[in-house]
Chain A
Amino acid sequence: MKLELGYIPIDNIKFAERSYVEGSTLYVSKEELSEVLMQDENILGLNFAIALPGDNTRITPVKDVIEPRVKVDGKGGMFPGVLSKVDIAGSGRTHVLKGAAVVTTGKIVGFQEGIIDMSGPGAEYTPFSKTCNLVLVITPKEDVVQHEHEYTVRMAGLRAAAYLGELARELEPETIETYEFLPLLESIEKYPDLPRVGYVQMLQSQGLLHDTYVYGVDAKRTLPTLISPTEVMDGAIISGNCVSACDKNPTYVHQNNPIVHDLFKRHGKDLNFCAMIITNENVYLADKIRSSDRTAEICGYLKLDGVIISEEGFGNPDTDLMMNCRKISDKGIKTVVITDEFAGRDGSSQSLADADPSCDALVTGGNANEVITLPRMDKVIGTEAYVGIIAGGWDKNKAEDGTIQVELQAITGATSEVGFGYLSAR
């Protein structure tokens, strides 16, 4: 499966009478975009805002971030099974408005979640301070219950990203990257001496506000399966996960998963990236056993030499992580797990809720309990009313001068468990 990603660089967004791209500026017509989004009858009010790198702006509470793209050649459209008809993503050519992002914000439940600061110390922790963001502030009708509200916000973000992506259809990309994922036997024949490496991506799948969708299917109702990494790069997975801003994977991160990108970079050089497996993180213990069994069976069947496992979120998924690690290790396969830590504000508590002796190689995204102080911002998109009560904030955390104290976990993407962030020991 061969995918070409054509990048059209964007370094500015402006509102205009009609929507188009000129040079590296994305012009957005609020009227045209409203027309697309207001087809959802649950939406009462819709506001748009622009947040650019360096702005004295805070976006909160953030739900999802999506990269605007368009399918120009090959099977399927954007987000097959969700926005476009069911098909296989991951081949042909996709154009990307690189540097632009759609950010959705709005209150769904009272204690949610996520801060993006476009400048200042907070900006150092979130990857989305570097993107030009079109922010959708969505107000639902009064009688819309929480799960419908989440669906409305999720779909609005995806529709807006597809609408903007469409503007790139006829444009000539500045750069084109090609990713090819070969059938297993061909890959082994081509690189007989390189170690066979697989990637197991765990998807958050616990229930309301904690869900991920694969080709539109709720991941909690799936068994672990093989998937081409180019499918994942091309919109096969979308996020409905609004919980734990620091270490959830927004849709943008699924589209740009650094583990996939880095494995492709090393592919054919010092390793053979020949399998990607997606699995879930369910509440029910038998599901955890079933999914980790199946994941390990697939890895064993493929006779992989090494596997990278990434977690999403924390708490009971730590148990899925350890089950996956132990069962894959039991097949004689080397493992590296990627997670983050909730080790208390001083870092002295146990980092994970579960552990296993087989987990002897671990990469951390950082300690999500670390406290930082964020300055007052001139402009707030969304509302700061929840900053005191979002995960990682606490009551009385706002000082008179407007500065706020939060744990890193309040910042979108701060301790990404796929490495889509800036915290590093380097």
Chain B
Amino acid sequence: MLIVSNNPMVEAAFGDSCVFVDGSAMDVLISVRDMLHKGHKLLSHPLAGSVKPYESPIRSVCVSKNKGAYDMQSVLLIENAIDKYKALPQRNFIENHDEDFQLIDLSLIQSAVESRLQDRQYTITQSGGAKYET
């Protein structure tokens, strides 16, 4: 799984699994959209829950590491999310709360990662081991 994020805390926590975007939350969504068009699959919902898009400058979204067939549902969700971001007014963020936004975002992504761990698809290999889909 890859985490597309502009959150330094997520980058620090997930290292190579994080595709760090040096930009706005909107830039994160656009990077995700581009990846979905190349065949990655959306794994977490691109919108936050109950924290309004324009209130937080921080966003992280989980996508599959492997590329497969173009997933229409994923593309619809990300396009919807981008529309929602565009429709709402932008606000000047207050710098000293960046860390709090980062922490909340990290917590939400950790809950997605925990779900991913129990949800991984696997196949039994010839030697009897389990091969996990990435």
Whether A152 sits at the interface, judged by CB under 8 Å, is: no
* A315-B44 in contact (CB<8A): no
Q: Which residues does chain B contribute within 8 Å of A349, judged by CB atoms?
A: 87-88
Complex contact B115–A111 (CB within 8 A): no
B107 at the A/B interface (Cβ < 8 Å)?
yes
Interface SS of chain A: helix, strand, loop or mixed?
Answer: loop
Residue A29 interfacial (CB < 8 Å)? no
Taking CB atoms and an 8 Å cut-off, the chain A residues in 293-319 that contact chain B are 313-319
Whether the pair A317, B50 counts as a contact (CB closer than 8 A) is: yes
The answer to whether residues A285 and B43 also contact, given A220-B111, A349-B87 and a CB cut-off of 8 A, is yes
Residues of A within 8 A of B89 (CB): 344-345
Q: Name the residue on B nearest A111 (C-beta).
A: B97
Task: Choose among A110, A210, A241, A288 the residue that contacts B100 (Cβ–Cβ < 8 A).
Answer: A110
Contacts of B46 in A (CB 8 A): 316
Q: Are A204 and B50 closer than 8 Å at their CB atoms?
A: yes
**A318 to chain B: closest residue by CB:** B47
Q: Is B48 close to A, CB under 8 A?
A: yes
Kindly list chain B residues whose C-beta atoms are within 8 Å of the C-beta of A220.
111
A317-B49 contact in complex given A147-B107, A350-B87, C-beta closer than 8 Å: yes
Chain B binder among A57-65, A90-98, A185-193, A387-395: A387-395
**A350: chain B residues within 8 A (beta carbon):** 83-84, 87
The answer to whether residues A284 and B111 also contact, given A313-B49, A353-B80 and a CB cut-off of 8 A, is yes
A222 within 8 A of partner (CB): no
- Let me know if A288 and B45 touch, CB within 8 A: yes
Bound CA span A344–B115, Å: 33
Complex Cα spacing A395 to B83, Å: 25
- With a CB–CB cut-off of 8 A, which chain A residues contact B110? 207
Contact indicator A342/B52 (Cβ below 8 Å): yes
Q: A207-B111, A314-B50 are in contact. Are A283 and B44 (CB under 8 A)?
A: yes
Q: Is the CB of A111 within 8 A of B45?
A: no
Contact of B21 with A by CB under 8 A: no
Judged by a CB distance under 8 angstroms, whether A282 is at the interface is: yes
| Contact in complex: B43, A146 (CB < 8 Å) | no
User: What is the CB-to-nearest-CB distance from B44 to chain A, in angstroms, rounded to a whole number?
Assistant: 5
**CB-CB < 8 A to A147: which residues of B?**
107
A319 touches B45 (CB 8 A): yes
Residues 241-295 (chain A) with a chain B CB within 8 angstroms? 241, 243-244, 247-248, 281-288
Which of A247, A281, A284, A313 is close to B44, meaning CB atoms less than 8 Å apart? A284
Q: Please state if A344 and B51 are interface contacts (CB–CB under 8 Å).
A: no
Q: Beta-carbon contacts of B19-56 to A below 8 Å, as 1s and 0s?
A: 00000000000000000000000111111111111010
- Check if A412 is an interface residue, CB within 8 A of chain B: no
Q: How far is the CA of A170 from the CA of B90 in the complex (A)?
A: 56
Residue interface mask B109-123, A partner, CB < 8 A = 1: 111100110010000
Asked if B94 lies at the interface with its beta carbon under 8 angstroms from chain A, I say yes
> Which residues of A in the span 393-420 have a Cβ within 8 Å of any Cβ on B?
394-395, 409
* B84–A353 CB distance below 8 A: yes
Q: Is B126 an interface residue (CB 8 A)?
A: no
**A-B contact number at CB 8 A:** 129
Cβ contacts under 8 Å, B51 to chain A: 243-244, 315, 391
Residue pair B50, A283 in contact (C-beta under 8 Å) = no
Contacts of A319 in B (CB 8 A): 45, 47, 77
CB-CB under 8 A from A207, the residues of chain B are 104, 107-108, 110-111
Chain A nearest CB, measured from B5 CB (Å): 13
A28 within 8 Å of B by Cβ? Answer: no
- List of A residues within 8 angstroms of B108 by Cβ: 206-208, 210, 283
**Contact present for B47 and A315 (CB under 8 Å):** yes
Contacts A207-B107, A350-B84, A353-B81; A284 near B43 (Cβ below 8 A): yes
Distance to closest chain A CB from B42 (angstroms): 6
The residue that B55 contacts in the complex, of A209, A248, A318, A391, with Cβ under 8 A, is A391
Among A111, A284, A316, which residue has its beta carbon within 8 angstroms of that of B48? A316
Inter-chain contact A208/B107, CB cutoff 8 Å: yes
Q: What is the chain A residue whose CB lies nearest that of B119? A: A286
Q: State whether A395 touches B91 (Cβ < 8 A).
A: yes
Cβ contact of A354, chosen from B42, B80, B88, cutoff 8 A: B80
Contact with B along A201-214 (1 / 0, CB 8 A): 00010111110000
Tell me, rounded to whole Å, the shortest Cβ–Cβ distance linking B70 to chain A. Answer: 16
- Spell out B's residues near A (CB within 8 Å): 42-53, 55, 62, 77, 80-81, 83-84, 87-89, 91-92, 94, 96-97, 99-101, 103-104, 107-112, 115-116, 119
19 contacts between A and B (CB under 8 A): A109-B103, A110-B94, A111-B94, A210-B50, A210-B108, A243-B49, A243-B50, A282-B115, A283-B49, A285-B43, A286-B119, A315-B47, A316-B48, A318-B47, A344-B89, A349-B88, A388-B94, A389-B94, A391-B51
| Known A284-B115, A314-B49, A353-B84; 19 more pairs at CB < 8 Å | A109-B97, A109-B100, A204-B49, A206-B49, A206-B50, A206-B108, A207-B108, A208-B107, A284-B44, A284-B112, A314-B52, A315-B51, A316-B48, A317-B49, A342-B88, A344-B88, A349-B88, A394-B91, A395-B94
What 8 pairs across the A-B complex have the smallest Cβ distances? A208-B107, A110-B97, A313-B50, A316-B45, A284-B115, A109-B100, A244-B50, A207-B107
